Amino acid sequence: MEKVSPLGDVVLRSRDEVSSEATGIKASLMLCGHTHLPRRLDLPDGRIILNPGSVGCPGYMGTTPIHHVVQTGTSAASYALVEKATGGWATVFRHIPYDPSRMIEMAKAANHPQWVSRLSTGWIT
């Protein structure tokens, strides 16, 4: 549902772009991930694409197609509840605060100090 611009910015794709990518998929609900950004997109034909977010990785840097940064701005675990309802899918996003100290210690032990800020704040510093 997002793309990386030529400048390295992560931007929302248009509904038409996403609809085109979903051509041929018959499911009424499609789940996706990768960007860690919680989002629901309703396609013109009524199908829904849902990214629940991330439970333990609130920010990361990528290199494909070019260097880019994704930041949720929160250390809270993010997930979604989905329920079939009359006329479609009901969705609820949840953000649950948790203590990331164990994951931070694991990152330090693995010689990944850059993960300390990501895990504790959801921001890349």
Q: Cα–Cα distance between 113 and 48 in angstroms, integer?
A: 38
Domain spans in the chain, listed from the N-terminal domain onward: 2-121
Confidence check: pLDDT of 122 > 90: yes
Q: Read off the DSSP letter of residue 14.
A: P
Q: How far is CA 16 from CA 45, 46, 61, 105, in A?
A: 11, 13, 27, 43
* 3, pLDDT greater than 90: yes
Banded pLDDT at 34 (limits 50, 70, 90): confident
Digit-coded pLDDT (tens) for 54-96:
998 999 999 999 999 999 999 999 999 999 999 899 999 999 9
2-121 topology per CATH: Purple Acid Phosphatase; chain A, domain 2 (3.60.21)
Q: What distance in Å separates the CA atoms of residue 65 and residue 4, rounded to the nearest whole number?
A: 7
Distance CA 67, CA 8 (A): 6
